[in-house]
């Protein structure tokens, strides 16, 4: 039995600007992603991959067509309701780790819980659990300056999963890392996908990074150029 649908694009268009300056980023995209999938999105600059990611993460809305998240027409929600949806169901990891420099790893991970009004003791317990899940036991009291790039990205991932989101949106999560740290982070994301059932949508320009995902969607000129499962790619 197939997992329920998490994300659907139904003839999604997205344009920016007006008149001669108008740019069409997405052109009638149809797409479906199920819960528990690990999907890599690839494509050259201007292909529409980042626009698709922003819509998936409820950071932007379609110009036309329907974007549904867990069956909700997210494209028609107002800004406040989209923010609520993000806060409840979506975690984000970026190329830049976006950690607060003067706070410890544990304090950085606690931030989303503070916004939710979680009590201090429970916040700390949940943060410590998330840091353990990303392999940072013993680094809880280190500031970002005391951590390597790979460790900082692990803190950012812990912060993204501490609220137990349904979806993790990762934008070039290994872009600032060397090869060894890249593989460590991708092994971690693969494990979180498998063990927690965490749905992951990851934008990357690196084929070897995309290879960790179970499915790769390639964008070109605002269209889906290909949509391939790992088993199909290996056949």
Q: What is the DSSP string of 165-189?
A: -SEEEEESTTTTS-HHHHHHHHHHH
Give the residue carrying structure tokens 């379609």. Answer: 62
Domain tally, the chain: 1
Mean pLDDT of the chain: 94
CATH number at residue 55: 3.40.50.300
Enter the DSSP assignment of 64: E
* pLDDT for the residue 1: 63
How far is Cα 58 from Cα 125, in angstroms, rounded to an integer?
29
Could you report the average pLDDT of every consecutive run of 10 residues in the chain (235 residues)?
90 90 93 97 94 96 96 94 94 92 96 92 96 94 95 96 96 93 95 95 95 97 95 58
Task: List all residues 6 or more positions away from 95 whose beta carbon is below 8 Å from its beta carbon.
Answer: 171, 172, 173, 175, 176
Structure tokens given for 15: 């344009």
Residue 227's nearest CA partner among 33, 15, 27 is 33
Q: ∠226-231-235 over CA atoms, to 5°?
A: 90
pLDDT per residue as tens digits for the range 206-223: 999 999 999 999 999 999
Structure tokens given for 81: 């309701």
Helix (H, G, I), strand (E, B) or coil at 27: strand
Enter the DSSP assignment of 122: H
CB 126 within 8 A of CB 113: yes
Parallel, antiparallel or unpaired: strands 5-16 and 23-34: antiparallel
Structure tokens given for 202: 């990851």
Its pTM stands at 0.93
| Domain boundaries, position 175 | 5-234
């Amino acid at each position: 039995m197939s997992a329920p649908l998490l994300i659907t694009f139904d003839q999604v268009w997205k344009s920016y600007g007006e008149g001669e300056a108008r740019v069409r980023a997405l052109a009638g995209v149809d797409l479906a992603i199920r819960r528990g999938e690990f999907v890599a999105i690839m494509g050259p600059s201007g292909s529409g991959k980042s626009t698709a990611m922003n819509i998936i993460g409820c950071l932007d809305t379609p110009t036309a067509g329907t974007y549904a998240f867990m069956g909700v027409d997210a494209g028609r929600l107002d800004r406040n309701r989209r923010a609520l949806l993000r806060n409840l169901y979506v975690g984000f990891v970026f190329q830049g780790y976006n950690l607060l420099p003067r706070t410890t790893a544990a304090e950085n991970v606690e931030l989303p819980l503070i916004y939710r009004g979680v009590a201090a003791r429970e916040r700390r317990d949940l943060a410590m659990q998330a840091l353990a899940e990303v392999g940072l036991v013993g680094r809880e009291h280190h500031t970002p300056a005391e951590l390597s790039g790979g460790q900082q990205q692990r803190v950012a991932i812990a912060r993204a999963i501490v609220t137990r989101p349904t979806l993790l949106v990762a934008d070039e999560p290994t872009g600032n890392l060397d090869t060894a740290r890249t593989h460590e982070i991708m092994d971690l994301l693969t494990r979180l996908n498998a063990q927690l059932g965490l749905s992951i949508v990851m934008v990357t320009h690196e084929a070897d990074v995309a290879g960790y995902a179970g499915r790769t969607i390639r964008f070109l000129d605002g269209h889906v150029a290909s949509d391939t499962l790992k088993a199909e790619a290996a056949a």
